Amino acid sequence: MYSDKVMDHFTNPRNVGEIENADGVGEVGNASCGDIMKIFLKVDENVITDVKFKTFGCGAAIATSSMVTEMAIGKTIEEALALTNQAVSEALDGLPAQKMHCSNLAADALHEAIKNYRGKSA
């Protein structure tokens, strides 16, 4: 059902936790399935230097949260905004169709954290 990459990020999630005094925080959820993702960013000179996440949800939700943090670190704000839920899914070698609608909210949470960061720095 799940790819080896999904299982790896689920059983060994990267960048779990939160960042105190984060430069940006974004939270998204899906009421139909109960998944909630919260992403914390640290930004230095327009580059994301650290990302942490807290996720309440299924294995796919945890795996996508883990993967998006790996994809975002070292990217500029603009590059991170270009990351899509589809790109996260592809980086994990795909997700089952029934999991795409509720578990792959990771890029949305990242975008919300960037929006929050931009609002603070404006």
The pLDDT tens digits for 56-115 are 988 999 999 999 999 999 999 999 999 998 999 999 999 988 887 666 789 999 999 999
Please identify which of the residues 43, 102, 110, 113 carries the catalytic annotation.
102
Residue ranges of domains in the chain, CATH in brackets: 4-121 (3.90.1010.10)
- The answer to whether 102 is a known catalytic residue is yes
Q: How many CA atoms within 13 Å lie on the side-chain side of 45?
A: 1
H-only helix segments in 33-122? 59-72, 77-81, 85-91, 97-103, 106-121
Tell me the mean pLDDT in the region 41-62. Answer: 95
Tell me what percent of the residues of the chain surpass a pLDDT of 70. Answer: 98
- The answer to whether 58 is a known catalytic residue is no
